Chains A and B, each alone.
Chain A
Amino acid sequence: MKRCNWEERVERRFDGEVSDATAVDAHVSTCAHCKAYLADLELIRSVTHTAGPVPEIADAQFNAFMDGVREGIAPKPSPWRGLWAMASLTAAAFVVAFSAFILMRGETQPVLATEIESVSTELAGATVYKSDDGVTTVWVNMAEDDLP
C-alpha cells in the first residue's frame, strides 16, 4: 500500500499532540489510507489496554525474580536421580564387602609346593626317602628279601 504524507500528523492527532486537529480529521475523512491507518492505531491501543497493567519489579525483588527465571530454564531433576544414587552406593558397598570377604577367606594366598610331611615303611630292611627332581618323589629301597 502506498504511504501518505499525512501519516505522522495522523499519529500525533491520535496521541492528541497536534494543534490542527480539524485539518487532520478533514484529511482522514477523504484519505482511505489514513483512515485505515487510524483504524489500525485504534485497534492496537484497544488490544494493549486489555493486556492489563504490567507489574514493576523493585530492586529488592530482582534476585528472587531471577531465581525464578533460572528455575524455569534449568532442566528439572529426574525423580529417579535419588534412587540411582542410592543404588550406586549400595553397589559400591557390596563390592567393598565382597572384596573383604574374599581377602578374609585367604583366596589370594599363593599356591605352595607339594610337601612330604612324613614317610615310613613296615618292610624289614627297606629304607624310604623323598626327593624333588622337579616332580616330588618318594622312594622305597626294597631289600632283595622283600621281593613279592
Chain B
Amino acid sequence: MTLTAFCIALLIAGAGDAVNGGPPPVSVHMWAVQATQEDRAQPHFDREVVAIKPAVEELPYDTYKKVAVAWRSAQVNEPARLPIDGTYTLIATPLPDQGDHRIRLEVAVEMKNQRDARGGAVKALQTTMALVPEKMVKLRGFRLDTGNELLIVLSVER
C-alpha cells in the first residue's frame, strides 16, 4: 500500500462519524452491593463485583455482597432503567456531550415508597455528571432493609 492510499484510508475512516450521524450509544455499567464490616482478615468481594475493588479500597467495609450487576446501552436522551432490588431502580440518561471527551449522564435513583399503596416512587437521588469514560463513580448512603448500606458504583463508556 502506498502512503497516499494509507492517508486516504485514514481520512475515510475519520469521516465515518460525520457520515453516520449521531454519536455512538453510551454503555452504562452498574454494580450495586451491600457493604458491611465483618472484621475479616481479608476483604471479601462476591465474584460478580470484584471489578469495583479499586474504587472502594478506602471505605470502612470489608465485605461487599452483590445486590445487582447490570449493563445497558442507551442513546443520548434515552433513559436506561437498571433495577437494583424491590426498592431501588437506577435510571441513567446519556446527555449531549460538550466536546470534552467526557460522557454526560443524568442519573436518578428511584426509591419505592413502601407506605404508598399506589406504589409511588421518589427520587432519592438525582444528579448530572460529566464522567471520564471507564472511570468509576460511587453513589453512597442508600439503605437496605437490612439496615446496611447500599453502595452503587457506575462506569460509562462509548
Tell me the B103-122 residues at the A interface (CB within 8 Å). Answer: 104, 109, 111-112, 114, 122
Q: Is A91 an interface residue (CB 8 A)?
A: yes
Question: With A and B bound together, what is the CA distance between A120 and B109 in angstroms?
Answer: 11
Chain B interface: which of A34-42, A44-52, A131-139?
A: A131-139
Find A117's partner among B10, B124, B130 (CB 8 Å cutoff): B130
Indicate if the CB atoms of A123 and B4 lie closer than 8 Å.
no
Chain A interface: which of B42-50, B74-82, B94-102?
A: B94-102
Nearest-CB distance from A146 to chain B (Å)?
A: 8
Question: With A and B bound together, what is the CA distance between A111 and B122 in angstroms?
Answer: 35
Indicate if the CB atoms of A112 and B137 lie closer than 8 Å.
no
Q: Is B141 an interface residue (CB 8 A)?
A: yes
Indicate if the CB atoms of A140 and B124 lie closer than 8 Å.
yes
Tell me the B23-67 residues at the A interface (CB within 8 Å). Answer: 54-56, 58
Q: Is B158 an interface residue (CB 8 A)?
A: no
Tell me the A109-148 residues at the B interface (CB within 8 Å). Answer: 109, 111-123, 126, 128, 130, 133-142, 146-148
> Can you list, as one digit per residue, whether each of A30-68 has a CB less than 8 Å from chain B (1) or not (0)?
000000000000000000000000000000000000000
Q: Is B68 an interface residue (CB 8 A)?
A: no
User: Which residue of chain A lies nearest to B110 when distances are taken between CB atoms in the complex?
Assistant: A122
User: What is the size, in residues, of chain B's interface with A at 8 Å between Cβ atoms?
Assistant: 46
Indicate if the CB atoms of A101 and B124 lie closer than 8 Å.
no
Assuming the contacts A109-B100, A111-B101, A121-B123, asked whether A94 and B8 have C-beta atoms less than 8 A apart, the reply is yes
Assuming the contacts A87-B2, A98-B7, asked whether A139 and B14 have C-beta atoms less than 8 A apart, the reply is no
Q: How many A-B residue pairs have CB under 8 A?
A: 132
Q: Is A4 an interface residue (CB 8 A)?
A: no
Chain B residues contacting A105 (CB-CB under 8 Å) are: 14
Indicate if the CB atoms of A148 and B2 lie closer than 8 Å.
no
> Can you list, as one digit per residue, whether each of A86-97 has a CB less than 8 Å from chain B (1) or not (0)?
011011001101
> Can you list, as one digit per residue, whether each of B125-137 has a CB less than 8 Å from chain A (1) or not (0)?
1111111100111
Assuming the contacts A106-B99, A112-B102, A115-B102, asked whether A122 and B122 have C-beta atoms less than 8 A apart, the reply is yes
Nearest-CB distance from A148 to chain B (Å)?
A: 4
Q: Is A102 an interface residue (CB 8 A)?
A: yes
Indicate if the CB atoms of A135 and B55 lie closer than 8 Å.
yes
User: Which residue of chain B lies nearest to A141 when distances are taken between CB atoms in the complex?
Assistant: B141
A residues at B contact (CB < 8 Å): 87-88, 90-91, 94-95, 97-98, 101-102, 105-106, 109, 111-123, 126, 128, 130, 133-142, 146-148
Contacts A/B (CB < 8 Å), 17 sampled? A94-B3, A95-B7, A98-B7, A101-B11, A114-B131, A114-B132, A114-B135, A120-B126, A122-B124, A123-B124, A130-B127, A135-B138, A138-B139, A140-B125, A140-B139, A142-B142, A148-B144
